[in-house]
Amino acid sequence: DVVMTQTPVSLSLAIGQPASISCKSSQSLLGTSGKTFLNWILQRPGQSPKRLIYQVSKLYSEVPDRFSGSGSETEFTLKISRVEAEDLGVYYCWQGTHFPYTFGAGTKLELK
């Protein structure tokens, strides 16, 4: 199975600061279709995960543009240009290229 490694494990930031989360995969996530199925989700405390980004860098329609995703092959990054209170929670990357699909262990974003 593809191993997804996220760093850091946790982030403590003040409102308005930028955030950056890394996600590395043990194999290239570039599929035979030419697409890279790397996704990001956010799980706020006590809630189910919510969609953020798909195919590395595509934001879902309701996601604020302070979020961005980048990367290729085995290295990916989620960035938040300026953290807001509603951004707190655990961020997960997950891959949908190789079955079984697999998830990172999560990065917890907390308020400083």
Partner 1 sequence: QVQLQQSGAELAKPGSSVKISCKASGYTFTSYYISWIKQTTGQGLEYIGYINTGSGGTNYNEKFKGKATLTVDKSSSTAFMQLSSLTPDDSAVYYCVIAAMGYWGQGVMVTVSS
Nearest CA-CA partner of 15 in 92, 80, 99, 106 = 80
Which residues from 77-106 bind partner 1, rule CB under 8 A? Answer: 92, 94, 96, 99-103, 105-106
Toward partner 1, which CB reaches closer, 31 or 96?
Answer: 96
Main-chain dihedrals φ then ψ at residue 87, nearest 5 degrees:
-85, -5
Does residue 67 interact with partner 1 by CB under 8 A?
Answer: no
Does residue 15 interact with partner 1 by CB under 8 A?
Answer: no
Does residue 3 interact with partner 1 by CB under 8 A?
Answer: no
